[in-house]
Amino acid sequence: MNRGNKILKVENIDKNINNKQILQIRKYSVIKGKFNFIIGANGSGKTSLLNILSMIDNDYQGTIYYKGKIISKKERNCELRRRFSVIWQEPYLYRGNVYHNIALPLKLRGFNKKIIHKKVKNISQKIEIDDLLEQSVYTLSGGERQKVSIARALVTEPEILFVDEATTNLDEESINFFNSHFADLVTEEMTVVMVSHDRRQIKELADRIAYLKKGKILSSQAREEFDFSQLGAGICSSIEEIV
């Protein structure tokens, strides 16, 4: 692995909340163009790490490097954060219809109407929600809401896509759809950082797997090094049971 492959690197991260240590990470790197999975039991610190990597949280000790350059915690890093998208377990949507929600990040980035229309159509066809574009977000099912938030995260073709257990609330058919289509939905240049408890998703998509326990990275391995036989099948309530 050469240095240029590390799109994000963290060093000596310490995060405490109310005198409780949430994270203590000496070193962790996100590899460019790969599916970087973060696994671990409930409460092991996966979401906290994702928040720091995606620069949503800057209240920590330690250093983050983006392509080898230190990221300042004092600045808002708006320009850099515009290159990132995050998909949360609980989707939040803006008032209005589905089209408006998917188009919004493109409008904020200054794309013209014609290009916005093309990009929204394209991503909603891929995610199979093109028949919902005119529908108000208040009338969507939970699974449909999550699909809209996935489309909105992907429509900007982010450099890094952060995914925090995005498929947990989807039905079996939708989970299968995403597990089999996710690799096609992201572009080759896109880097994915994915928190997941879904063993099939890990097996099908992961290029790298970092295992977090009580706020510490116990291992960070390439797919070829990881022993998948430990994972079994299905969705695990606690990865601790199986790793």
Ligand X SMILES: Nc1ncnc2c1ncn2[C@@H]1O[C@H](COP(=O)(O)OP(=O)(O)OP(=O)(O)O)[C@@H](O)[C@H]1O
Choose between 42 and 136: whose C-beta lies nearer to ligand X. Answer: 42
Strand partners, 14: 24, 61
Strand partners, 235: 198
Choose between 9 and 197: whose C-beta lies nearer to ligand X. Answer: 197
Strand partners, 84: 160
Helix (H) or strand (E) holding 90: none
Q: Are 84 and 54 in contact (CB under 8 A)?
A: yes
- The whole-angstrom separation of Cα 157 and Cα 188 is 10
Instruction: Kindly state the smallest distance separating residue 157's Cβ from ligand X, in Å.
Output: 26
Q: Are 192 and 214 in contact (CB under 8 A)?
A: no
Helix (H) or strand (E) holding 183: helix 172-185
Helix (H) or strand (E) holding 243: none
Choose between 126 and 214: whose C-beta lies nearer to ligand X. Answer: 214
Instruction: Kindly state the smallest distance separating residue 7's Cβ from ligand X, in Å.
Output: 22
Instruction: Kindly state the smallest distance separating residue 141's Cβ from ligand X, in Å.
Output: 23
Instruction: Kindly state the smallest distance separating residue 17's Cβ from ligand X, in Å.
Output: 4
Location of structure tokens 């939970």: 142
Choose between 17 and 222: whose C-beta lies nearer to ligand X. Answer: 17
Instruction: Kindly state the smallest distance separating residue 46's Cβ from ligand X, in Å.
Output: 4
Instruction: Kindly state the smallest distance separating residue 217's Cβ from ligand X, in Å.
Output: 12
Chain residues that interact with ligand X, rule: CB under 6 A: 17-18, 22, 40, 42-48
DSSP E strands: which ranges in the chain?
6-17, 20-31, 35-40, 61-66, 69-70, 84-87, 160-164, 191-195, 208-213, 216-222
Instruction: Kindly state the smallest distance separating residue 61's Cβ from ligand X, in Å.
Output: 16
Choose between 31 and 41: whose C-beta lies nearer to ligand X. Answer: 41
Choose between 16 and 135: whose C-beta lies nearer to ligand X. Answer: 16
CB atoms within 10 A of CB 76: 10
Choose between 52 and 160: whose C-beta lies nearer to ligand X. Answer: 52
- The whole-angstrom separation of Cα 80 and Cα 160 is 10
